[in-house]
Amino acid sequence: MVICSADSMASSGSSGGSSKVWIAHGIVLGAAVVAGAYAAFYLRWSGGFRTRVVGIIPARFASSRFEGKPLVQILGKPMIQRTWERSKLATTLDHVVVATDDERIAECCRSFGADVIMTSESCRNGTERCNEALQKLVKKYDVVVNIQGDEPLIEPEIIDGVVKALQGAPDAVFSTAVTSLKPEDGADTNRVKCIVDNHGYAIYFSRGLIPYNKSGKVNPKFPYLLHLGIQSYDSKFLRIYPDLPPTPLQLEEDLEQLKVLENGYKMKVIKVDHDAHGVDTPRTSRRSKP
C-alpha cells in the first residue's frame, strides 16, 4: 500500500490536495487487499469442480449511451432475444436466464420463452446483477457466464471457450475472451483493450491503447487485443465480488475487471477469431445492420 505523508509530499513540491488523493487511494487499496486475502482463503477452503454452468444475460433499460438498448429491433427481433437464442446454442451451459430490473424487458423475454430473474436497480454493473440473479436461482451452479446482451451475434463456441478455460485453470477465478483489435479502433474508448502474459493470464485492461509506444501512434504491425464482453466466474468468487471495495484503477478506467486484478486474483484469457459486433450506441446499432 502506498501512502505519501504530508511531509514527504511537501518536500517534493506537491500540493496538500495531491497528498489527500494519494492517502485516499492508499486507504481504498489497503481495504481491498484485506478483503481480497479473506476471499482467497475462502475460495481455497471451499474447493469445487466447476461442472454445473449457468449463463446469465444481464439487461437494463436505463443507459446513458443507449436507453432501451436490449429491446432495439434487429431484423424483426429484439436484440436481447437474438443474444438469448445464440447463447442457448452453447453446449457447456446447463441453463440460460435473463437478469433485469425492468418489467418491459422481463415481459419481452418471457414472450419468447426465456427464464427471467428480476434484480434490483442498485446493481452497479453486470457482474453484480449476475451475482444477485445467482442467489435467486433454485439450483446451484459452479460457474456463471456473464453474457453481454449487446452481442446479438455472439458465437456459441466463444461461450464454451471461456467456460472450458476457467474449468482448466484452477488457479483462476475469472475467464474472458479477446480478439484482434482493428487499428482504426485504437482510440475508441468504448473498445476496451487487454494485454496478457505468456501463460494466458490478464495483466491489464484499458480504454486507452495498450501497450502505448513512444510515437504515440497505433503500430499497424503490433497484435493489439480487443476485450470481448463475455466473461465467466467461479460462483464462489462471484458471491465475494460485490463485497470487495472499489479499487483505484477500476474507478479511474471504469472497468470492473480491474478490481479482480487489483485484488490479486488470476484471470484466464483466451484469444478467438471474432469480428466484434457489440452495440454501444444508436450509431453503432445502425452501422451493424446489413
Query: What are the tens digits of pLDDT across the range 20-39?
Result: 445 545 554 555 544 554 54
Q: What is the pLDDT of residue 150?
A: 84
Q: What is the pLDDT of residue 46?
A: 46
Report residue 278's pLDDT band, with 50, 70 and 90 as the boundaries.
Answer: low
Query: What are the tens digits of pLDDT across the range 72-116?
Result: 999 999 999 999 999 999 999 999 999 999 999 999 999 999 999
Contact 271, 179 (CB under 8 A): yes
Longest C-alpha distance within the chain, in Å?
66
Cα 239 to Cα 234: distance, rounded to the nearest angstrom: 9
Report residue 124's pLDDT band, with 50, 70 and 90 as the boundaries.
Answer: confident
How many residues comprise the chain? Answer: 290
φ, ψ of residue 65 in degrees (nearest 5): -95, -30
- Contacts (Cβ under 8 Å, ≥6 apart) of 35: 243, 244, 245, 263
**Average pLDDT of the chain, as a whole number:** 83
Query: What are the tens digits of pLDDT across the range 197-212?
Result: 999 999 999 999 999 9
Query: What are the tens digits of pLDDT across the range 244-265?
Result: 999 999 999 999 999 999 999 9
**Amino acid occupying residue 43:** L
Q: What is the pLDDT of residue 13?
A: 46
CB neighbours of residue 86 within 10 Å: 19
- 189, pLDDT greater than 50: yes
- Contacts (Cβ under 8 Å, ≥6 apart) of 76: none
Cα 236 to Cα 43: distance, rounded to the nearest angstrom: 7
Contact 102, 61 (CB under 8 A): yes
Q: What is the pLDDT of residue 67?
A: 63
Q: What is the pLDDT of residue 7?
A: 40
Distances (CA, A) of 258 to 47, 97, 135, 155, 232: 24, 26, 24, 25, 15
